[in-house]
Amino acid sequence: MLPMEHIHLKNVLQTVCALESVILRSFGPEGGQVLFTRDTGQVMLSRSGARILTALHLEHPLARIVVECVRKHSASVGDGSKTFILLLASCLRMIHATACKEPNVSQSYNSTGAAEASAARRLADKLLAFALTELDDLIAANVVPHGFCVSLEDFTTKTKLPAHSNSLSAKMLLSSFFHTRLGYVHCDFFSDLTCDMLRHWEFKGDQLFSALQFLNDNFPALHTQVSGLPVGSSRLIEGQVIQRDFATPFLQVNKKTVKAVAFTGYLQPKLLNPGDVLELEKTSIMHFNAWTERSVECLIKTLQSLGVSVLFCEAKQSAAVLALATHAGISVVECVSEEELSLFARLSGVTPVSDCWMVQPENVATLSFCRPILLGAHRYAYTSGVFNILVICAPGEGQADQCAKAIQDANRMLLTTMQPVCLHKTTALNKCEITRLHAASLPKDGANRCDIGVLKPGCVIPGGGTFEFLLHCSLLQHHSSVSNPTNTDVHISRILAKALLVVPCQIYCRNPKGFLQTQTRVMKTQNPKPNQAEDPEKGAFMTNTGLDSISCKSQLLLDVLQCVTSLLQVNMMFRTHMALQKTHKITNTSWEQTEDETED
């Protein structure tokens, strides 16, 4: 019989708390960096929650499930990996404390904890149902009115605007993000560099959002990492950098334009019909090699007739092909990544050729230049293009990779923040009630505020736990509005409200005064006095705490509750002594496991 292990609620909580203890070291504005040392002696220093968690060697399946949930959330939203673990642990603690107090659990003496597990699963299901049906309305009613909106044009403006403007807030949003990833020293530098990168797209309106989507999808080919240089050497350069050197001696072309072709396969002899294959089989190897060389020579001459002087190849070419290309004066760049070839096709407007014998004039790209470029200790191929490539420099290879990952995650965060999302559910409050509740808290000008009850693209809110404090107060008000509660009635909103406080508690763990000041400020905005003017210290408060994206925060909370439900659905764990099959089929479940995902 296969060995099995029952999974209790305490086991799940202990596993998540172990991950929480690792994350707490780098959480918050005063959090430090985590140092990892591999068996090879390589050192990694990072503040990124997703990077820290994925670097751990985890044996427990539940821990790997949690890390996978964090990885998927970070890949989608780009932010909130550390907060994900904190909220997950806090929700599990609240569920455990509430489940133990239920009458059917406290009166049960079952050592297996079956009653406790069943109660915990019911609470998790109710929490997720509450988040899917009512949480959007609470955020729209009590959080959105206290924020304001920025647009992508605010990130790309070149003019110096007065303080507390939208453009300054847009930069502050990026600075807050990079502060949690790269520290205080480089946050402003990389926020300016990101704004410069967005500014060079030269799109407006919806096209700018499409450009941001294109930047997110093609980021691996739109940046180049250089180690051995200071971070301040990072810059934008016009054109495309192919992160491969010329495989043949580069020949300076004294022409105003350079013609190039991209291949996705090998430069090989022309395919033969079956009759020619039988004739070649009767000849010797020397005759076959001579025929192969003549065939490739014919291909090279065809390329010469089209004026081609540069070849970009996805595959590694043979020595004979490289020798013939060198003799013909054609420069070859081999082992080009698929992402870089795709970007080259986008820049040049031509399609890469899979069959080298099918090259047509429309497959030949005309470039204004193509030459080697020296970046750090490496030489790459550098071509013209309409986009700007980001060169990310750092003293070490790991630091350069960390900076590149931070910029990529910042793009994902902006994409999530600027994506149109409408909180259309009105199960708890309608628009009239929302307007009545929060009309007094809005400034008289109302220029930078969102429409009541609607989460427009670019909704942001002061950081430092403001989102959690506002939603905490809203959930408590929702809890007190429940009429005729019974002993068996579980107040889900109160559980979630208490769980949210873990975020500001950890932010101000070394500054209790800051916790009380932020909480007091939030309470004043929740219950404004008649004819109360807007707080003049709001600008200073925003500067000190930064800005958070409301869309990212809402998605984070929903993903956490989905992870809680998934974890508590696990009853027992079987340990197998053989590899599972590559593809599994489960009744009523469409799940296929790839070869890379196969676990022992």
CATH number of domain containing 117? 1.10.560.10
CB within 8 Å of 50: residues ≥ 6 apart: 70, 71, 74, 81, 409
- Angle formed at CA 297 by CA 291 and CA 300, multiple of 5 degrees: 150
| 479 and 560 together in one domain | yes
| 258 and 368 together in one domain | yes
Task: Supply the mean pLDDT for the chain.
Answer: 79
Which class for 118: exposed (0-12), middle (13-18), buried (19 or more C-beta within 10 A)?
middle
**121/428 Cα distance (integer angstroms):** 24
**358/76 Cα distance (integer angstroms):** 39
Q: Is residue 465 part of a domain?
A: yes
**497/597 Cα distance (integer angstroms):** 37
Instruction: Please give the model's pTM, rounded to 2 decimal places.
Output: 0.83
| 519 and 569 together in one domain | yes
**43/517 Cα distance (integer angstroms):** 40
Quote the tokens at residue 541: 């408060």
**Dihedral of alpha carbons 108, 112, 114, 116, sign:** positive
Other beta carbons within 10 Å of 193: 20
| 364 and 494 together in one domain | no
| 328 and 258 together in one domain | yes
Q: Is residue 315 part of a domain?
A: yes
**19/585 Cα distance (integer angstroms):** 32
Residue of 410, 448, 441, 480 lying closest to 178 (CA atoms): 410
Residue type, 115: A
* Strand 378-394 versus strand 547-549 pairing type: unpaired
Place of tokens 């609240």: 94
| 427 and 388 together in one domain | no
Domain final position from 394, 409, 443: 394
Q: Is residue 101 part of a domain?
A: yes
**320/101 Cα distance (integer angstroms):** 78
| 37 and 101 together in one domain | yes
CB within 8 Å of 140: residues ≥ 6 apart: 423, 429, 434, 452, 453, 454, 455
Q: Is residue 281 part of a domain?
A: yes
Q: Is residue 407 part of a domain?
A: no
Count Cβ neighbours within 10 Å for each residue of 467-485 and write b for 16 or more, e otherwise: bbbbbbbbbebbbeeeeee
* Strand 370-375 versus strand 365-367 pairing type: unpaired
**355/71 Cα distance (integer angstroms):** 38
Residue type, 445: D
**445/453 Cα distance (integer angstroms):** 18
What is the residue-wise DSSP string for 168-225?
A: HHHHHHHHHHHHHHH-TTTHHHHHHHHHHHHHTT---THHHHHHHHHHHHTGGGSEEE
| 129 and 247 together in one domain | no
pLDDT of residue 62: 92
pLDDT-flagged residues of the chain (< 50): 1, 109-111, 161, 163, 272, 422-453, 487-489, 530-534, 536-541, 543, 582-600
Domain that holds residue 21: 4-148+422-456+458-574
Number of C-alpha atoms within 13 angstroms, CB side, residue 599? 11
Q: Is residue 154 part of a domain?
A: no
| 241 and 390 together in one domain | yes
The number of folded domains in the chain is 2
Q: Are 330 and 356 in contact (CB under 8 A)?
A: no
CB within 8 Å of 364: residues ≥ 6 apart: 259, 260, 261, 306, 307, 308, 350
Other beta carbons within 10 Å of 432: 10
Q: Are 452 and 435 in contact (CB under 8 A)?
A: yes
pLDDT of residue 118: 87
Domain final position from 358, 379, 394: 394
**31/90 Cα distance (integer angstroms):** 19
Residue 242 belongs to what H/E stretch? Answer: strand 235-242
Angstrom distances, CA of residue 360 to CA of 197, 549, 551: 35, 49, 48
| 30 and 122 together in one domain | yes
**176/180 Cα distance (integer angstroms):** 7
pLDDT of residue 153: 79
- Tell me the CATH number at 324: 3.50.7.10
| 342 and 473 together in one domain | no
Q: Are 43 and 36 in contact (CB under 8 A)?
A: yes
pLDDT of residue 421: 55
| 139 and 23 together in one domain | yes
Q: Is residue 220 part of a domain?
A: no
Q: Quick: pLDDT tens for 129-158.
A: 999 998 988 998 889 988 888 887 788 776
Residue of 545, 391, 401 lying closest to 48 (CA atoms): 401
Q: Helix, strand, or coil here: 487?
A: coil
**312/29 Cα distance (integer angstroms):** 46
Q: Is residue 201 part of a domain?
A: no
- Secondary structure (H, E, C), 425-455: CCCCCCHHHHHHHHCCCCCCCCCCCCCCCCC
**107/103 Cα distance (integer angstroms):** 6
Output Rg (C-alpha) for the chain, integer angstroms: 30
pLDDT of residue 590: 34
